[in-house]
Amino acid sequence: MSGQIFLQCDALSKSYGGVDALKSASLAIRENEVVGLVGDNGAGKSTLINILSGKQQADAGTIRIGGQAVRIRKPADARALGIETIYQDNSTVPTMSVARNLFVGREPLAWSILGLGPLDSSRMAADAAAALAEVGLHLRSPDALVGELSGGQRQGVAIARAMYFRSKMIILDEPTNHLSVKETDKVIAFVQTLRGQGKCGIFISHNLHHVFESCHRVVGMARGEIVLDKPVDATSIEEIHDIL
Ligand SMILES: Nc1ncnc2c1ncn2[C@@H]1O[C@H](COP(=O)(O)OP(=O)(O)OP(=O)(O)O)[C@@H](O)[C@H]1O
Ligand SMILES: [Mg+2]
């Protein structure tokens, strides 16, 4: 069912002052595969995915995408490589409209000279409405400010953005924190759809039930190291509890 390796990282390390947050972590993720990344607070999960999404730089190690070595220096680099990241709460800008959030950094222009020109607002509004409807989010208007939306609706905007730009890999770092049961179910259902669309993902959660419901592989981290890497069918919540 899984395909070619999409992303491979080898021996990634990162220290903050005296803290070794990530110690030589290696991981491969295939197309059509969603990996659940689990581990205790401070295990290094966010550090690992922040390096893949360009929020932080590794001190050492390599990242390859489709077999090619890549450098991810900033979030825009990750996006250009097809990696979109959805954070617990800060992947959208509250003071901007839904439509602007969808296109931030990648706004279509009505016309341009040497890449400069006015934003194509009507196209942004129309495409935003379609992209939101696509992920089952029905908002009053794409002109609403994101700051006025619920946590689940904000996650919906971030998900719509990933789908609109056809990201190959979607990283979700505890996307369901602070969400209602209903909103959480929507995010889990979204994670479950990734496989059938040729996409891959990394889903970080402290809720092992959510991980077992939506992921194909579980990767466990402890003290900056990867200590478990198994298909969900080959492990259990009990085993993961014992290891982590
Ligand atoms: N910006 C930073 N500055 C200093 N130390 C940091 C920074 N980010 C992370 N750390 C440290 O690195 C270690 C790993 O943190 P990380 O955020 O990756 O853990 P995590 O597995 O995501 O935990 P949680 O489940 O609580 O989100 C921790 O000891 C943390 O204190
Ligand atoms: Mg974290």
The pLDDT-based confidence of 223 (bands split at 50, 70, 90) is: very high
Neighbours of ion ligand 2 (CB under 5 A): 46
Of the residues 20, 22, 47, which should be mutated to test ligand 1's pocket, given the most ligand atoms within 8 Å of the CB? Answer: 47
Q: Compute how many other C-beta atoms are within 10 angstroms of the C-beta atom of residue 222.
A: 16
pLDDT at 90: 65
Q: Measuring CA to CA, which residue among 101, 128, 123 is closest to residue 111?
A: 123
pLDDT at 77: 95
With a cut of 90, say whether residue 117 has pLDDT above it: no
pLDDT at 93: 87
pTM of this structure: 0.89
pLDDT-above-70 percentage for the chain: 98
Buried b (16+ CB within 10 A) or exposed e, 36-49: bbbbeeebbbbbbb
Out of 36-40, 125-129, 154-158, give the one with best mean pLDDT. 36-40
> From atom 1 of ligand 1, which residue's Cα is the shortest distance away?
16
pLDDT at 1: 54
Q: Compute how many other C-beta atoms are within 10 angstroms of the C-beta atom of residue 219.
A: 23
220 close to ligand 1 (CB < 6 Angstrom): no
pLDDT at 2: 66
With a cut of 60, say whether residue 191 has pLDDT above it: yes
Rounded to whole angstroms, how far apart are CA atoms 65 and 138?
35
39 close to ligand 1 (CB < 6 Angstrom): yes
Closest ligand to the CA of 43: 1
Q: What is the average pLDDT across 39-46? A: 95
Domain boundaries along the sequence of the chain: 1-82+168-244, 92-166
82 close to ligand 1 (CB < 6 Angstrom): no
C-alpha triplet 197, 201, 202: angle, nearest 5° = 165
pLDDT at 72: 97
pLDDT at 11: 98
C-alpha triplet 163, 164, 170: angle, nearest 5° = 30
101 close to ligand 1 (CB < 6 Angstrom): no
Q: Which CATH number fits domain 1-82+168-244: 3.30.390.50, 3.40.50.300, 3.50.50.60, 3.40.50.720?
A: 3.40.50.300
For the CA of 45, the nearest atom of ligand 1: 21
For the CA of 47, the nearest atom of ligand 1: 18
Half-sphere exposure of 138 (CA within 13 A, CB side): 1
Q: Compute how many other C-beta atoms are within 10 angstroms of the C-beta atom of residue 179.
A: 20
Q: How many helices (H) and strands (E) does the chain have?
A: 8, 10
Rounded to whole angstroms, how far apart are CA atoms 86 and 191?
12
